[in-house]
Amino acid sequence: MTERIKKLTDLVLQGKMYVDTVKTEYEYEKNLTKEQNEVEHLCKYILNQEPKIVEYSAFTGNFLFDGSVVGDAFKRGGHKNNQKALDKYYLKPIDNLSTMEWQHATADYKRVLENGIIGIINDIDKSLESHQKPEGIEFLDSLKTVAKVLIKWTEKCAERVHEFSKNTTDIEANRRLEKLEKALIHSPKNPPRNFYEAILTIYVCFSADPDSIGTLDRYLTPFYINDIENGTLTEAEAKEYLQELFLMLQACTYVGSPHFTRGGESHFCIGGYLPNGEDGFNDLSRLIIEALTELPTYIPQVTLRWTKKTPKAVLYYVLDKERQDPHKRIAFTNDEKRIKCYTEICGIPYERAVSYTTVGCNEPAFLGAITGSTSKGNILKCIETLFHEKSKKIESIDTFEDFYTAFETELYSDLDKIYAYDDMYNLERSKDINYISSLFFNDCIENAKSLTQGGGNTVTASPMLIGMTNLIDSLIVVKQMVFDMKMFTMEELISALQADWVGYEDMRLLITKKCSFFGNDDNVSNQVAKMLYNSLYKHLLGKKNLFGYQWLVGDLLGYNEHHRWFGEGTKSTPDGRAEGEMLKFGIGQSQGKDRNGLSALLNSLAKMDEHGIGCGSTVTNIMIDEQLIKNDDNFEKTVDLLLTYFQNGGVHFQLTYVSREDLIKAKDNPEDYGNLRVRVTGFSDYFVKLKDSIQDDIIRRTEHK
């Protein structure tokens, strides 16, 4: 790390690089429509902001929104209907079945890097020629107005850089500022001419969607290769530019925010399949990992997209960087299963499918697209209904097949409700028109439609279903204990659950000891898990949300305690869970129920979803013994194990290697464990900062040795 980057890092961690907003007064013009007033206010606001410049800066041009105007589509400031929906549904479960959550997205940086904002304006003009509806024309005119203002904004930034340089006596700083001034005059108005201007373009345009930066290595690679080959860029210079970009992304979150130390912000990907079918991990991908992990920051986090063509040495290298990273910013996902899902189930052309990235806590989004849905659903409610409200339907059933048919009826009914609620949330959001983010999102210009209204064509919808492992285990208990082994009758199980296990403690203990729970790679649990995912596939294939996006299945939690809230309202279930006990999230196992070790757990995960219907927002947390990571001999075996997991069809994994004993101590004595970081549910954070129920879930995870 250079001295300049060290000084910038200190400023960022102190919160001194956060861009302050400038309050902008605006009087609504009576002769303009509501939308025209919103655009006029937005444009005035942008031009009223001031760029952040210090003597160590090589980049500037980012601005933030204060909520007074219709700003970016991530933070949703000024999106009044979205706020109404949040007030009504956010973190407020409906029927203990569904609740609204946030959305993530990634701008199409490739488009602006290839065409510049001038090129985007040209695309708007072409679209205007083909659209005749007044609302479409007004929307496109608004986009064009905002695009022109963004050019004026960069010109203002260039002027501010020039003024700042007059008061700088440092020769190196003056050279940097002179280079920055010239670059701002050219880009992002025009396509960047080199790697430096490409980074600058990303940083300026990040203002329009301060979320994921997508597939960073693939759209920066042409600039990197060209500059390295013509001798105008060194690897060290490229690394320094990347590090400043990452620092500025960290600086976009206020230092006093609880999100400042969470790695779920600005999530992006490296590697993965390219449109030509080759693996995309390259020298720049490696440099990105080096640049990021050298910084003592928390944001952004990165996921390696693995393919069958990814050399083992690459997986080893990135895992090695992961084990050296104290801030745990690296996760891993499998292109083979994901691309199969996006092409075969969602019908997305291969060339677009390979542009996916993971955003936020691990939601999939495509370059220039939003996540189609992120609501949370209680998937365990269908089992609760069957045993507590409709037990008469199952008490005399003779076979597991008949039971499963009755179960499917409740499962499909709840899925339809969960997905209908998700449509309802999106319908409320669609009442807002977004102008600045839509400039950088695929198809919004071509379709003359805001991204909030389904403007994009390449989007998936995957509400997160909390309690998936509880559901699989409940089905296993019924199959194995009631029908296969006949350890007790269905009537007895119903009675035990309706009594919340009171008086049936021996039955509950028997289930705990004898049942082949999910994650043990045995025939019973594997069969049941596969049955469930085949049912999900059968029911959802071809079903679309209100914008026409294919429904998928997700299972992650996010920052909030949905597993606790849903659990508090859910009665006891066959997996041994008591009434009110929190649900499990993600796909994995905990509480010692995965008895056969890590290999068995990974095999079970790889086998359960043969179609890929679960390639929505999914996360697999693995708690692993520290010696399997930090001991070099063991680490080689661990890499082989995780490689086999991906080769067999596993979708995702993220590692935590802190002992359960230390986690318990950290919860009891947080002041002594302030630096203990863990992977949570697609993001990382300090353990002591997490909410109690999330801490408890991490402690309950099985530690594999």
pLDDT digits (tens, 9 = 90+) for 543-559: 999 999 999 999 999 89
CB distance 64 to 19 below 8 Å: yes
Cα first-last separation, the chain: 36
Please give the DSSP secondary-structure letter assigned to residue 133.
S
Summarised one tens digit per residue, pLDDT across range 80-131 is 999 999 999 999 999 999 999 999 999 999 999 999 999 999 999 999 999 9
Please give the distance of CA 66 from its chain centroid, rounded to a whole number: 24
The tokens for 406 are 């009755």
Neighbours of 316 (CB within 10 A): 17
Summarised one tens digit per residue, pLDDT across range 73-86 is 999 999 999 999 99
Please give the DSSP secondary-structure letter assigned to residue 68.
S
The residue ranking higher by pLDDT, 693 or 609, is 609
- Distance between CA atoms of residues 366 and 381, nearest Å: 31
> Measuring CA to CA, how many Å separate 507 from each of 183, 476, 481, 567, 575?
72, 15, 10, 22, 11
CA angle 342, 343, 347 (to 5 degrees): 95
Summarised one tens digit per residue, pLDDT across range 328-358 is 999 999 999 999 999 999 999 999 999 999 9
Sign of CA dihedral 489, 495, 497, 503: negative
Report helix, strand or coil for 485: coil
Total number of residues shown for the chain: 705
- Distance between CA atoms of residues 286 and 343, nearest Å: 28
Q: What is the CA radius of gyration of the chain?
A: 26
- Distance between CA atoms of residues 8 and 637, nearest Å: 39
What average pLDDT score do residues 158-169 get?
A: 95
pTM of the model: 0.96
- In 499-651, which ranges are E strands? 621-624
User: Who contacts 229 (Cβ-Cβ below 8 Å, separation ≥6)?
Assistant: none
Summarised one tens digit per residue, pLDDT across range 548-603 is 999 999 999 989 999 999 999 999 999 999 999 999 989 999 888 989 999 999 99
- Distance between CA atoms of residues 366 and 359, nearest Å: 9
**Residue written as token pair 């001991």:** 631
DSSP string for 227-279: HHHHTS--HHHHHHHHHHHHHHHHHTS-TTSGGGG-TTTT-EEEE-B-TTSSB
Which residue type sits at 675?
A: N
| Domain residue ranges of the chain, discontinuous segments joined by + | 1-64+108-207, 213-359+620-665, 376-619
pLDDT at 286: 98
Summarised one tens digit per residue, pLDDT across range 466-489 is 999 999 999 999 999 999 999 999
pLDDT at 702: 66
H helices present in 582-669, as ranges: 597-607, 627-630, 632-647, 660-668
**What's the pLDDT band for 698 if we cut at 50, 70, 90?**
confident
If residue 359 lies in a helix (H) or strand (E), which one and from where to where? strand 356-359
The tokens for 70 are 């219709």
- Distance between CA atoms of residues 15 and 205, nearest Å: 21
DSSP string for 589-611: -BTT--TTHHHHHHHHHHHS-SS
Please give the DSSP secondary-structure letter assigned to residue 571.
-
**What's the pLDDT band for 705 if we cut at 50, 70, 90?**
low
- Distance between CA atoms of residues 681 and 696, nearest Å: 13
**What's the pLDDT band for 616 if we cut at 50, 70, 90?**
very high
CB distance 246 to 140 below 8 Å: no
- Distance between CA atoms of residues 95 and 9, nearest Å: 47
**What's the pLDDT band for 147 if we cut at 50, 70, 90?**
very high
Summarised one tens digit per residue, pLDDT across range 390-400 is 999 999 999 99
Which residue type sits at 523?
A: N
- Distance between CA atoms of residues 535 and 411, nearest Å: 9
Please give the distance of CA 358 from its chain centroid, rounded to a whole number: 5
